[in-house]
């Protein structure tokens, strides 16, 4: 669909969970002929496995992409650690000769609850992964992109961060998550201005709810918090969405592919809603 993505080098953070949003994005790029580096945090992370993919899952995901005719490698790293982020970017360069596209997808989306009851440790975990981790990945991938030659009609690089409807609107019981996603849009807009002279675009994709494995946990939590069944909670959600359905991972993956393509060469600093009309500002 996008011929100019063929042979581009793509890093998708947080792409180690089977059925997750990250692996859907990575697989979409692989189908375009891009070289994909899968990433997730090592399973010993303090998140206790609730939102992470193990190294064996990473290996399996990379193998499946290769068996389907794509090109993929994998590297585990804790994005809160700047040294590990540098090693991650170096691994992409070593594997594929450079880094053309960064998709900041890694995030903590399971620390929900009333802000008045939230511990500082839980707050720090969400902000450290969702915002600090994205900043560090942008910083070091961006440095590598700036050092690379510009491609006529495409530029030097693309940075795409996965925001959320929570990047635009607050949500009860998701204060830390919403704060991190609002911050991610501000970071995107600021970096877009800094990197525009280098022919690097910086954008965000803001999907509404997607029922991945993590999304299922969120459904259970929110339904219980509202005193509803999960079916009733999802029915209420669909009723708010003009297009009448909950988002799918492929919706976000398709938006990422477009923003990475040459067709989006004049799009930067945007926070694109992919929400079926549920969010429109």
CATH code for the domain in which residue 21 is found = 3.40.50.720
The alpha-helical segments, DSSP class H, found in the chain are: 21-31, 55-67, 82-96, 120-127, 133-146, 175-195, 213-226, 230-240, 249-260
Is residue 224 in a domain? no
pLDDT, tens digit, 9 for 90 and up, residues 165-177 = 989 998 888 899 9
Rounded distance, CA 211 to CA 219, Å?
8
Q: What residues act catalytically?
A: 177, 181
Six-digit token pair at 26?
Answer: 């990575």
What is the reported pLDDT for 53? Answer: 66
∠ CA 272-275-281, rounded to 5°: 55
Identify the residue with better confidence: 279 or 45.
279
What is the reported pLDDT for 3? Answer: 96
Number of domains in the chain: 1
Average pLDDT (189-218) is 88
**Band of the pLDDT at 44, cuts 50, 70, 90?**
very low
∠ CA 274-248-12, rounded to 5°: 80
Domain that holds residue 129: 3-210+252-273
Distance of CA 18 to the CA centre of its chain: 15
Is residue 281 in a domain? no
What is the reported pLDDT for 46? Answer: 40
Is residue 239 in a domain? no
What's the mean per-residue pLDDT of the chain? 91
Is residue 268 in a domain? yes
Which of 58-72, 110-124, 147-161, 201-215 shows the lowest mean pLDDT across its residues?
Answer: 201-215
Identify the residue with better confidence: 224 or 115.
115
Is residue 228 in a domain? no
What is the reported pLDDT for 212? Answer: 65
Which of 96-110, 140-154, 211-225 shows the lowest mean pLDDT across its residues?
Answer: 211-225
Is residue 189 in a domain? yes
Is residue 131 in a domain? yes
pLDDT at 227 over 70: yes
Is residue 247 in a domain? no
Average pLDDT (247-270) is 97
Strand partners, 101: 10, 158
What is the reported pLDDT for 215? Answer: 63
**Band of the pLDDT at 49, cuts 50, 70, 90?**
very low
What is the reported pLDDT for 51? Answer: 45
């Amino acid at each position: 669909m996008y011929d100019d993505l063929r042979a581009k080098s793509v890093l998708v953070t947080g792409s180690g969970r089977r059925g997750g949003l990250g692996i859907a994005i990575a697989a979409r790029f692989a189908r375009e002929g891009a070289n994909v580096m899968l990433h997730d945090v090592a399973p010993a992370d303090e998140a206790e496995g609730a939102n992470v993919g193990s190294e064996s899952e990473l290996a399996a995901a990379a193998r499946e992409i290769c068996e389907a005719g794509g090109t993929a490698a994998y590297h585990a790293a804790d994005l809160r650690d700047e040294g590990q982020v540098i090693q991650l970017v170096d691994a992409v360069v070593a594997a594929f000769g450079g880094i053309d596209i960064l998709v900041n997808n890694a995030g903590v989306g399971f620390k929900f609850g009333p802000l008045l009851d939230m511990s500082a440790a839980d707050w720090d975990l969400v902000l450290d992964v969702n915002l600090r981790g994205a900043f560090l990945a942008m910083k070091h991938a961006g440095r590598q992109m700036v050092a690379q030659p510009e491609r006529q009609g495409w530029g030097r690089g693309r940075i795409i961060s996965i925001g959320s409807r929570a990047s635009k609107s607050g949500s009860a019981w998701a204060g830390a998550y919403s704060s991190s996603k609002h911050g991610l849009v501000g970071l995107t807009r600021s970096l877009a201005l800094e990197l525009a002279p280098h022919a690097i675009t910086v954008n965000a994709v803001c999907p509404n709810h997607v029922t991945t494995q993590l999304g299922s946990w969120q459904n259970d939590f929110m339904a219980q918090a509202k005193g509803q069944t999960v079916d009733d909670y999802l029915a209420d959600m669909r009723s708010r969405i003009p297009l009448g359905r909950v988002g799918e991972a492929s919706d976000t993956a398709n938006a990422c592919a477009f923003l990475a393509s040459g067709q989006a060469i004049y799009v930067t600093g945007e926070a694109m809603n992919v929400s079926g009309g549920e969010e429109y500002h």
